[in-house]
Structure 1
Amino acid sequence: MNDVQEISDVVRQRIRGLRQARGWSLDALAARCHLSPSTLSRIETGHRRIDLDQLVALARALDTTIDHLVEPVDDADVIIRPMQHQEPGLTTWVLSRDPAQNAGRHIAKMRITAERRTGPDHQAVHPGREWFMVISGTALLHLGERQIPVATGNAAEFNTMIPHSIGAVDGPVEILTIFDQEGERAHATS
């Protein structure tokens, strides 16, 4: 199978998948993109080539972009091999590939140990919000003058304009966290 045929097959699968996910019949989508139901059926089943004007109309009707419909499928685009960043008391693995595709947010796993400096002298402040969930251990969220323990299975979300840092209570803690680009810069330098 050649690359053009593979992409064509992926586009057809995505069109059908988006249509079905919205609960639309062939007739419903055909009406939205001004195609006949039989033409749409032949496009989805591979019995008809997709013209560029049809692709534009389908993308618009499905509330997506042509780029999302024709994006090639490649296992390398699925698997993320996070690089480990280490500093005293903190190991970080960034789990998101491209912040532009995640509305500017980064997703990371962090392992925090007692060696990490936290508290009033080591708190960061930056625009945005941060969210984290404790995978194991107990995190100690320093939020301004408050100290809030967050146990395994619990999550925390807070405004990052409040001075903050995250430490560990009684041994290492592992968290999954989501923060914006400002947060990534703040965490990389704290």
Structure 2
Amino acid sequence: MEQEEDLDAVVRQRIRALRLARGWSLDALAARCFLSPSNLSRIETGGRRIALDQLVPIAKALGTTLDQLVEPVGDADVVIRPEPEHRPGVTTWLLSRDHPQTGVRVAKMRITPERVEREKPGVHPGHGWFWVLSGTVRLRLGERELLVGPGQAAEFSTMEPHVVSAHEGPVEILTIFDEDEPGHLHGTGPTTL
């Protein structure tokens, strides 16, 4: 019962925080979710029990989902301790957990000149993005070859044939992978850009 009350308090806090973050008054949110301002006030303050048929329009009005609004606060460790995944010329550290809602994973990659490049550049739906931490990346996009240095980022359509490799020494990058892009994931972690 205590967990239910704790979650109830968290949901109330989330509703209020999202409303205030948008700069909305109680009247503004109430109008968007077809509730009276007094009912909404009692929901936020705990003076009224929250009903599912009220949460759905509130979540929609706030631009979130019901799942996100009622997601329990976990005691899970918030610190990520990435384990390196090694392949010839590439080491990858996953820096985020699986997030089914977004389908996005963040990784750090170290690419060395020893990396065996694919004979044919990769092509798949989506966008590639990386930020260079150190070294210089050689980015082949179709017939173009670009050098991307430390502190620079690159974003490109992955429908264009592409290869990311190290130029004249090791390179470290931060990158974002979409889990729906099979070219980016292998087993438990990302493979290549």
Q: TM-score by structure 2 length? A: 0.83
Question: Residues 94 and 108 of structure 1 are in contact (CA less than 8 Å); yes or no, is this contact kept in structure 2?
Answer: yes
Structure 1 runs of 4+ aligned residues shifted over 4 Å read none
| 3-state SS of paired residue (2:101) | helix
Question: Residues 134 and 176 of structure 1 are in contact (CA less than 8 Å); yes or no, is this contact kept in structure 2?
Answer: yes
Q: Equivalent residues in 2 for 1:98-113 (5 A)?
A: 98=98, 100-102=100-102, 104-113=103-112
Aligned partner of 1:8 in structure 2 is: 8
| 3-state SS of paired residue (1:100) | coil
Q: Equivalent residues in 2 for 1:63-142 (5 A)?
A: 63-76=63-76, 78-98=78-98, 100-102=100-102, 104-118=103-117, 121=119, 123-142=121-140
| 3-state SS of paired residue (2:140) | strand
- 2:154 and 2:30 map into 1 onto residues whose CA distance is 45
Comparing 135-144 and 122-131, the one that deviates more: 122-131
1:68–1:22 CA distance, 2 compared to 1 (3 A) = same
Q: TM-score by structure 1 length? A: 0.84
Over the aligned positions, Cα root-mean-square deviation in angstroms equals: 2.5
Partner AA of 2:146 in structure 1: I
Aligned partner of 2:35 in structure 1 is: 35
Structure 2 residue runs of 5 or longer lacking an equivalent are none
Structure 1 residue runs of 5 or longer lacking an equivalent are none
Question: Residues 106 and 184 of structure 1 are in contact (CA less than 8 Å); yes or no, is this contact kept in structure 2?
Answer: no
Aligned partner of 2:171 in structure 1 is: 173
- Offset, 1:101: 2.0
- 1:71 and 1:99 map into 2 onto residues whose CA distance is 13
Aligned partner of 2:191 in structure 1 is: 188
